[in-house]
A and B are shown apart, each in its own frame.
Chain A
Amino acid sequence: DARVTQTPRDKVTEMGQEVTMRCQPILGHNTVFWYRQTMMQGLELLAYFRNRAPLDDSGMPKDRFSAEMPDATLATLKIQPSEPRDSAVYFCASGEGLAGYNEQFFGPGTRLTVL
């Protein structure tokens, strides 16, 4: 049963520290999405990639967030420096193609707490 995996599942860090979240998309999927979920804002799309190239990262604070896909099996989301307002659950999702009817498969999320 193919699944999207994310590590770490939980991360507690102090303000100012660098945080790296990792995602392994489902093998064969060529689109990868990063979302952030908070009680106040709900689900927000931060960035997405097709064939490892960034298509849209307009939802991401550029000064501190960066997203990359070093290879087809790994996507990373980095925050440097982290701030308490970054506390949230970060989800990665992958899918096939760009057609609007295609399903996205979500990972279990990384719960980030910045103290």
Chain B
Amino acid sequence: GDSVTQMEGPVTLSEEACLTINCTYTATGYPSLFWYVQYPGEGLQLLLKATKADDKGSNKGFEATYRKETTSFHLEKGSVQVSDSAVYFCALSGDQTGATNKLIFGTGTLLAVQP
């Protein structure tokens, strides 16, 4: 079945460091790919998404490119801030026929940014 694998954390960085959180997926069809972020004590919120191969999602300085050839959707940011400390989830959704939009999540990666 469909699945998402993301790097285990925690990832600890100093402020202004570069961030990469790896995410790879296994899926049939043509899934949409997402990064969700969960701040302490809150629910998940969408950070960015990409709906087809070679699309790049971006938001708040974060980027991720849908790479079909490597089945990857790595999250990157050039300069992290303390406020980026959170748990990041990679997820995939159903194919574009609209059969389903239920999400399959990775295990989450805790990012801790130190001043």
A56 CB within 8 Å of chain B: yes
Pick from B49, B98, B107: contact of A97, CB below 8 A. B98
CB 8 Å contact bits of A50-67 with B (1 = contact, 0 = none): 000001100000000000
9-residue interface stretch from B9-17, B18-26, B77-85, B88-96: B88-96
B32 CB within 8 Å of chain A: yes
Pick from A42, A48, A100, A104: contact of B95, CB below 8 A. A100
B39 to chain A, nearest CB (A): 11
Q: A4 to B44: give the CA distance in the assembly, Å.
A: 11
A103 touches B49 (CB 8 A): yes
Q: A99 to B49: give the CA distance in the assembly, Å.
A: 14
Q: Which chain B residues (35-54) contact chain A, with CB distance < 8 Å?
A: 36, 41-46, 49, 51
A109 touches B43 (CB 8 A): yes
Q: A85 to B89: give the CA distance in the assembly, Å.
A: 24
B95 touches A91 (CB 8 A): no
A43-B108, A101-B93 given; A95·B43 CB < 8 A: no
Q: A43 to B91: give the CA distance in the assembly, Å.
A: 11
Pick from A42, A91, A95, A101: contact of B32, CB below 8 A. A101
A100-B31, A100-B101 given; A106·B45 CB < 8 A: yes
A48 touches B46 (CB 8 A): no
Q: Which B residues lie within 8 Å of A99 (CB)?
A: 96, 98, 101
Q: A13 to B36: give the CA distance in the assembly, Å.
A: 30
A106 touches B44 (CB 8 A): yes
CB 8 Å contact bits of B97-110 with A (1 = contact, 0 = none): 01111111111100
Q: Which A residues lie within 8 Å of B41 (CB)?
A: 108
Q: A93 to B55: give the CA distance in the assembly, Å.
A: 25
Q: A98 to B103: give the CA distance in the assembly, Å.
A: 11
Q: Which A residues lie within 8 Å of B108 (CB)?
A: 42-43
A103 touches B43 (CB 8 A): no
Q: Which A residues lie within 8 Å of B42 (CB)?
A: 108-109
Q: What are the 5 A-B residue pairs with the smallest beta carbon separation, nearest first?
A: A106-B43, A100-B94, A100-B93, A101-B51, A101-B32
Residues of A within 8 A of B (CB): 4, 31, 33, 42-43, 45, 48, 55-56, 91, 93, 95, 97-109
